[in-house]
Structure 1
Amino acid sequence: MSIATNAAAAPLGRRGASLDRAIVIGLAMLVVLVLAGSLLVPGFLSVQNTRSILLLAAFLGIASLGQTLVALLGALDLSIPYVIGAANILLPAMMVAGLPPAAAIAVVAALGLACGMVNGLLSYRLQGQALIMSLGFGFAVVGAAQIWTSIGSQFGGTVFAQIPGWLRNLAAFNGTTFGLPVPPVIPIWIGIAVIAIWGMGNTWFGRGVYALGGSRVAASRLQISELRTWVLVHGISGLMSAITGMLLLGFSGGGFVGVGDPYLFTTVAAVVIGGTSLLGGSGGYGATVLGVLVLTVLTSLLVGLGLSFAAQQAVIGLTIVPMVAIYARAPHIRNQI
């Protein structure tokens, strides 16, 4: 076996061990929360509440894919909520301007991908300030979107448009999939999750992301382009954010620039609860899916118990602290190989 193969195999092995532990912890938390909800909140396991939980989890899960990939590189993308908000108002604005819905969706998705790639390029060039760079870039994106959509309108940050029925059906609570009472966004998320989990474990791109997060020296010796991987990962994050913003338009029925604000905290929380290391190289989207479900079920339980939004944030924050403490006990992968 070559030196390059040995260097690649070590990070992947450690990645599997980290994922196994994260999945066990995530499943245990999910089971406990579901049992607590069934005992404390009437109707918690009803079909309606289960569908609501999965619907909200789908939005968060799609947005969290990009955050997971960026975290695997050892960074965070703070532009996600702002790209979500920008996409949420750009899509109806383009439809009002006369662009066919399908074409408008394609344009917004392409813009999300392009914004993510530019964010990745800037963040890579200024890695010492990558966190602030992504935040500032997000402000710039959402600001530009507000300026463009407010031209000739008195409603800055809010756009009203006739949303096509098929777009509403994609993300509406009462949406159907092939006649079944399941909002299409749920199977869409499942499909994205299957592709992402398979791709991260079975493609050169996925292995390259883990290699870079684990050891840049080893990655360079494997001839993995750090710049290309960094840009592609952030591009995927921008694309997923734009898709989330457009799906949320179908959910709410109107464009609002602040619709992405909760995702600044929740995407990071889902990644942390899932067990992906914010130092990079360890974790995966499968664990993030569990983190999303844990976070969404916990929120539903807290709402059912009548806790205020502030109290919900406090409980979720207190949940993250021990999770970080547990995962932080393991040394980073670069210190293990």
Structure 2
Amino acid sequence: MAEDWAIDVRKYAPDADDAVIAGIVRYCGIALRTRDASLVSFSDKAETDRVRDGFCRKKLALTEPDEVVDAAIARVGERMAGDPTKNRVTVYYLLAEAFGKLGLFGAASAAVAEPVVAPAAAPVMAPAMATVAAMPAAAMAAPALAVPAAPADNRSDTGFMLTVLGTLGAIIVGAAIVSSLATGRSDDVPTLPSAPPVAVAAPVVAPAPAAPAAPAIPDGAGVIAAEVEGKPMVSVYFDTAKTDIAPDFVTATASVKAYLAANPSARAAVSGYNDPTGDAAFNAELSKNRAQAVKAALVASGVPDASIDLVKPADTTDSTTDMANARRVDIVVTGG
């Protein structure tokens, strides 16, 4: 079907994620290719039970009591009450949103956090600094100025002046050394290297698993099997103007046979379609013949004839999809 599912979903969820919508469409698969299967009837308890047990329980993995899940389904039905076509994709989106399960269908993965850098370790004070800090105040004081006595005769004496200057220089240098040790500014005081920053990697959040891609429509004879609300559904495709059934039919319809055997009240509805090209009368007959061929093949595989219904669609010409998809017969299990 060529409907734009995103437009319908956004009538109820304006900020709906395109990736999630696409994931739900892939999950529904061939169920969206027939009008009846693509819609949800909230007035049919059997169908809402299938939504609960098939979609909510199996796909969303909900463990809440039935009454909680049923109430959520009912609320979705109330929101869509004014819409004559309650599309399955929209119903599933709203349910997944209500239970916080949109990530199952391919929502954008969580961003990876930046590495956390631990602060650098504080520099370790050198032993010399610790020694200076422990020195008594008296030891930290500058030494008293001891100037040699001048000669008694007060005569100018070069040797005397040199002695005085040397003494003053030694005192000044010593005071500077003591001061630098006390304040920790000496370039000669060894220090231990600081520890380098340590990068602590944050945990990486894995992206949600992508929903499986829908199988490709065969360009000619072929069979595609799927499950809708816990029930098997099979689409049988044909070559142009042909009624020949693909050889893998028995294998693909084994799930239908098993379900009908396990659920005696269930039935297989068989409906034939054709593409819009060619003569309308010929196409109508072709659709009927294809449906009859599929029914005969089901009976030949062991499905009781009494469990199969030939259901003529309101319009056998499917002009809403591509040509290959239009040339098909759908087997839809009902009841049970």
TM-score interval w.r.t. the shorter chain? under 0.3
More strand per residue: 2
Q: State the TM-score, normalizing by the size of structure 1.
A: 0.25
For the pair shown, the structure with the greater C-alpha radius of gyration is: 2
TM-score normalised to structure 2 length: 0.25
Judging by fraction of residues, say which structure has more helix. 1
